Amino acid sequence: MAPDYPRLALAGFALTVVLALTVAGSTSGAAFGTYNPSWDGTAEFRSLAEGTGTDQEIARNASVYRTSQPNGTLAVVLSPAEAYDERESAAVRAFVRDGGTLLVAEDFGPNGNRLLRDVGARARFDGDRLRDERNYENSPALPTASAVGTHPYTRDVDSLGLNHATAVAGNVTANGTAGAAANGTANETNATVLVESSSYAYLDSNGNDQLDDDETLASSPVVTVESVGEGRVVAVSDPSLFINTMLERADNRAFARNLYETHDRVVLDVSHAGSVPPLQAAVLTLRESPLLQAAVGGAALALVAGSTALVGAGTALRRRLGGDSPAIGRLGREEVVAGVRERHPDWDEARIGRVTQAIMDRPPEGTNDE
């Protein structure tokens, strides 16, 4: 039998449309998007959990901070697009106070500093762009920062590659003594600098891409950790450190992996970072609701049972009307309808019609299309 090219073309087109809709519904184009596989997304950062054995949760609501076990849990917030309201901030604050670890990565937006303030951390993001005319990759706006001292987060990390970063203000030097913030003012706190720029870096306060008389060459913190209650707060002054393309620079991937490996559970908080793709949102909703899982499972079982019953009815009817021989293909519609009605007198006409059509559409068994 000759191939049915129009039907094959239609099937190919339908498959293409389905694949396109699936990709569109399961990925995101948002910057820092957890499901964004492009250069500015963080899909690779999310996938790091697979090789570490660390449990991971994508949180679309700040209520996760009220239901999560704080000890051993790291919550990651990357450049929040919206501010956390009072109720949400209180939940995050309680999570940290009771032993959880919160990582906030921000550069120039205001919401990172608001969250740090609300949870009781002293670290702040300076907001001016960090530049280094000597230690950089491709551009002074892409400086390289060095790990300081020894810490589980910086194991096997010599340097981090930054991308239009700022600095962390209000922290201390690596040995824990009170030090100067990035703007030169003294701040006493219990934070520790994990990564800092070289001493040739400066904060470009007026944004003219050059060192001015009122700007000073100095080493500035870019990653710090401090104790808050029973927990910890990690401040990272460059959220783009975690995007797909930046994980390949310096030891960024090792740093990101260490964050997973040093915790039992990692929560990627996307509650204030834009929407989640529709298909991924559906999957997350299903995971979060045992009742919905039961409903979907029941519907699937009912569908399978219904399909099995339909196939069984068709097979039984063929045997009743003439066995499995090719002769079944020569039966007329009226004969099939009569046979279905005789076997199932309790069925209504609509159901009889559907079953009849299904039987008529099936090719006769024992035939060879070739």
β-strand pairing of 101-105 with 231-236? parallel
pTM of the predicted protein model: 0.67
Q: Which residues of the chain have pLDDT under 50?
A: 13, 15-28, 171-188, 277, 279-289, 292, 324-329, 370
Q: Residue 253: what pLDDT? A: 98
Q: Residue 113: what pLDDT? A: 98
Q: Residue 171: what pLDDT? A: 46
pLDDT in tens, 143-189: 999 999 899 999 999 999 999 999 999 744 444 433 444 443 334 45
Distance CA 307, CA 54 (A): 40
Per the CB < 8 A criterion, the answer to whether 58 and 276 are in contact is yes
Instruction: Report the largest interatomic distance among the alpha carbons of the chain, rounded to a whole angstrom.
Output: 99
pLDDT in tens, 244-258: 999 999 999 999 999
Q: Residue 3: what pLDDT? A: 60
What domains can you pick out in the chain, each with its CATH number? 28-276 (3.40.50), 290-361 (no CATH)
Per the CB < 8 A criterion, the answer to whether 324 and 318 are in contact is yes
Q: Residue 10: what pLDDT? A: 54
* Residue in the structure block whose two tokens are 């029941």: 298
Distance CA 268, CA 283 (A): 16
**Partners of 129 in the beta sheet?**
204
- Cα 167 from chain centre: 26
3-state secondary structure the chain: CCCCHHHHHHHHHHHHHHHHHHHHHHCCCCCCCCCCCCCCCCHHHHHHHHHCCCEEEEECCCCHHHHCCCCCEEEEEECCCCCCCHHHHHHHHHHHHCCCEEEEECCCCCHHHHHHHHHCCCCEECCCEEEECCCEECEEEEEEEEECCCCHHHCCCCEEECCCCCCEECCCCCCCCCEECCCCCEECCCCEEEEECCCCEEEECCCCCCCCCCCCCCCCEEEEEEEECCEEEEEECCHHHHCCCHHHCCCHHHHHHHHHHCCCEEEEECCCCCCCCHHHHHHHHHHHCHHHHHHHHHHHHHHHHHHHHHHHHHHHHHHHHHCCCHHHHHCCHHHHHHHHHHHCCCCCHHHHHHHHHHHHHCCCCCCCCC
